[in-house]
Structure formats: C-alpha cells, structure tokens
Amino acid sequence: SASLMWFRRDLRAYDNAAFSQALRQHEATHCVFVFDTNILRHLPHDDRRVAFIHAALQELDTTLREQGGGLRVLQGNPTQLIPQLAAELRCDAVYCNRDYEPYARERDAKVAALLGDQGCELRSVKDQVIFEQDEVLTKQGKPYTVFTPYIRAWRQRFTPALAQTLPTPMAGALAPPSAAQGLPSLATLGFAAASQQLLRLQTGRSGGEALLQDFAQRIRHYKAARDYPAVKGVSYLSAHLRFGTISIREAVQLAISEEGEGAESWLNELIWREFYQQLLWHFPAVVEQSFKAEYRQLVFPGQDSWFDAWCQGNTGYPIVDAAMRQLNHSGFMHNRLRMVAASFLVKDLLIDWRRGEAYFAAKLLDFDLAANNGGWQWAASTGCDAQPYFRIFNPVSQSEKFDPEGKFIRRYVPELAALDNKAIHAPWQAKSLPSDFQLGRDYPAPIVEHATQRELALTLFGKK
C-alpha cells in the first residue's frame, strides 16, 4: 500500500513522528510540501521565512533522495492539492504532524473531509510538542491558564521515554517524485533570491544540528547568561523549532541530559512553548482579543507617529531602538528585549498590543502564533498569567541592568557608540556628551517621557 507524507512545520526526515509511522505502515511513501498561496500572497517579496523554508526543503529533498525518494514541492491551495495528489498516487493514507493554529486546524479538517470522500484517510500525529492540549489538564479536566501549576503537572507526567527520538526511516520505502515536481526556485515562487542573503542564521537541518551542538557546550551557563542580549547566552534555536528542522524531543533530550540550573531553566522555556500552544488550542479567541475579558474594551490613545518611530527604532530610548533595529536587520530579537520593546509600546506609547504583535509577526523569522500572542499578552498584562498591569518596565533601568556597558546598544545604534557607559542608556539625562554629538540631530530626543506615560498607563489599565 502507498502513503503520502505531507511535510509542513516539520522540515526534517530525522525523528519525525508522522514520517516514521508512514514508513512503518506502508510499502511506499511519497513526500510532499505545499507552498500555501493562502499564506504566501500576504508576504513581502523579500520575506526571510520563505527563504528559510526554501533552504530547509533543499536539504530535506537531498536527504530523501539519498534514500531513493525525494520531495514533491507544489504551490497552491493545499485543500485542493493534497486530495488531488493522494488520488493520483493511489494513496491509502496521508500522514502529517498536527498543527495547533486555528488556520491549520480548519485547513486540516477540510483536507480530512475531502480525503474521506475519496476513501483515503488523513492521519495526523503528535510531533511538535511533548504534551498536547489534552494531555496536561487540571484534576477537573480543564486546561491550565496559570503557568506554575501547568509546569508542575507537565513535569509530573514527563518520563525520559517521551523524549526518545524515533527510528530513522528504512531505505527503499520511499517513492521518488517525477523530475517536474522538484523544488522551484525562490524566483519561481515570486520571492527575491536576495532574501536568502538576509538570513543571519544557519539554515536547514544541518544548521539546526550545528546550533544545537553549539548550545550543548553553553547550556550550563544559560540561566546566568540568558538575559543579556550582548552575550551569546541563548540557543538561537527558535526558528528551527518553529519549522521543525530540529525536533522538540532532541531539544528536551539535551535539557535532561545535563544536571544543573542552566539545563533546568532551558527546559522551563521549552515548557512555556507548550503552555502557549495548548492555550491557543483551547482559547483560539486570543488571536483577536485579550485573554482577560476586563481589558477587551481598552481604547489605547497612543499616536500613529509613535508607532512608526517604534517600528523604525527611533523612539529616543536606546535599548528599545537597538532591539527594534535588531529585529528589522536580522529577523531576530532577544527575549529580554522582546519583553522590553513590547512593554514600551503598550505602557509607554499606549498603543494597542495587537499592532505590536502584528509587527513582530511580520518580521520575526521564528514567528509562532502561540508564542508571539502569548508573549504580547503577557507584556500587555491582558493575557493569562501575565505581568500585572502596575508592574511597568522602566526602559532605562532595564537597559542599565541587562546591557550595563551598552555593548548591545552600540552594535545596533552606532550613532551612540561614543557615549560613555552611563550616558548611553539615557542620553537626554547625560551631564556630558561627546562634543560632536547633538541630541535631536544625531539621535532622537525621547518621543515620550517615561514617568508621565507610566501614570497614564496606570490610569488606563486601572480604571478598566
């Protein structure tokens, strides 16, 4: 019997749950990836994600070819293309790994129904998390909405066997595609080849493996180093986890193979990822609105020109500007800075968190709906288990604490490079500035005053 393996956000052959099942249960397995035009048509010409996916597909195709198969790459509407291809190849089943986003759930339900009509089955498998939405629930069978009891329950249920990687596919069971169905170039897909050069990250399965190995050497320092954006303290694996070029099991294995607070703290972050994924599944309305009902009617008074200044990294707050310029330049932003920049947009500029969320969604290479929405609602105090509204980050003290020597700021805001280690965090407060530096000419004066805006935010959120 024949099967079709439909790759989506799991772009690896190794330790891939659905792929492994397909190969075990069928004599021949065909492999396909669909560039979904429903998604692609909203993306800019130089979108880095498309380039990242493209590079990952190239490697996946090579790996599959080495085993006698290869990847069919199609472009269009998967709801039509998958049932069509399954019929053409006379497949008994289509395999895919489960995706928990609202759009994907709807798409997969349609595909399953259409396949059903033609006597074929969509078999979706758990792969991208250790525990799915219904596997870690309260005693009453409800989803957790607070992280501390969730992580406790997660850890209680966890056994190392759950992070075991799955058997590698057997050679010979893969069916090769016809030459016409290979990987189209980025240009054929309507994207700029230059977007490949914009990638500041190692790509593909090999890139993910290299980063994982590199991080294994540093994981014991993670807890101490993770909050300092100028230091190489984090794993930089988020885009690889997002597109599945490494598996969650590989990541969790690394976390549990080491003793100590570094590994422990990294595992916590991987569990945050699952917390937000199950939350999105159970409460898909968070995509549109605040998780907390009392904040749904907030009217944010911030000005559009402030939003533009924030996007461009021209707010006059050096740490915020450095963060936003890092995002615009590389598609990445350090976690500490995501919190600082998000808090600044909502609590200092008084702009609706959804506008910031959308900007991050457009720019982040690791954009993930569940994590991004969760992070924004946390920072905006509108989410479950969020930062309370009265604890407002001070962008200057955050900067002094987490970039004490201004190293990160100097990297992304070079016009401030000559300022001393004190002045660089708040040039408008500096007693002395370099003689050739003029605030307002060489770098913007702050567009708002933190102390004033803080009071306004407290009033806005407090009166709800």
List residues near ligand FAD by CB under 6 A.
226, 234-238, 241-242, 269-270, 272-273, 276, 335, 338-339, 342, 360, 364, 366-368, 371-372, 374-376, 379
Distance separating alpha carbons of residues 365 and 329, to the nearest angstrom: 11
When the beta carbons of 309 and 369 are compared against ligand FAD, the nearer one is: 369
In DSSP terms, which residues pair with 125 in a beta bridge?
97
Distance separating alpha carbons of residues 393 and 340, to the nearest angstrom: 7
Determine the length of the chain.
Answer: 464
Q: Are 324 and 363 in contact (CB under 8 A)?
A: no
To ligand FAD, the closest distance from the beta carbon of 60 in angstroms equals: 20
- Which residue's Cβ has the minimum distance to ligand FAD? 375
When the beta carbons of 313 and 375 are compared against ligand FAD, the nearer one is: 375
To ligand FAD, the closest distance from the beta carbon of 28 in angstroms equals: 34
To ligand FAD, the closest distance from the beta carbon of 42 in angstroms equals: 16
* CA R_g for the chain: 24
When the beta carbons of 17 and 237 are compared against ligand FAD, the nearer one is: 237
Amino acid at 346: V
Q: Are 96 and 8 in contact (CB under 8 A)?
A: yes
To ligand FAD, the closest distance from the beta carbon of 215 in angstroms equals: 7
Q: Are 447 and 316 in contact (CB under 8 A)?
A: yes
Q: Are 112 and 96 in contact (CB under 8 A)?
A: no
To ligand FAD, the closest distance from the beta carbon of 420 in angstroms equals: 29
Distance separating alpha carbons of residues 192 and 194, to the nearest angstrom: 5
Greatest Cα pair distance in the chain:
77
When the beta carbons of 5 and 339 are compared against ligand FAD, the nearer one is: 339
When the beta carbons of 49 and 410 are compared against ligand FAD, the nearer one is: 49
When the beta carbons of 108 and 368 are compared against ligand FAD, the nearer one is: 368
Amino acid at 93: A
Please report where in the chains the tokens 């397909």 appear, as a residue.
Answer: 22
To ligand FAD, the closest distance from the beta carbon of 242 in angstroms equals: 6
Kind of pairing between the strands at 121-125 and 28-36: unpaired
To ligand FAD, the closest distance from the beta carbon of 98 in angstroms equals: 17
When the beta carbons of 338 and 450 are compared against ligand FAD, the nearer one is: 338
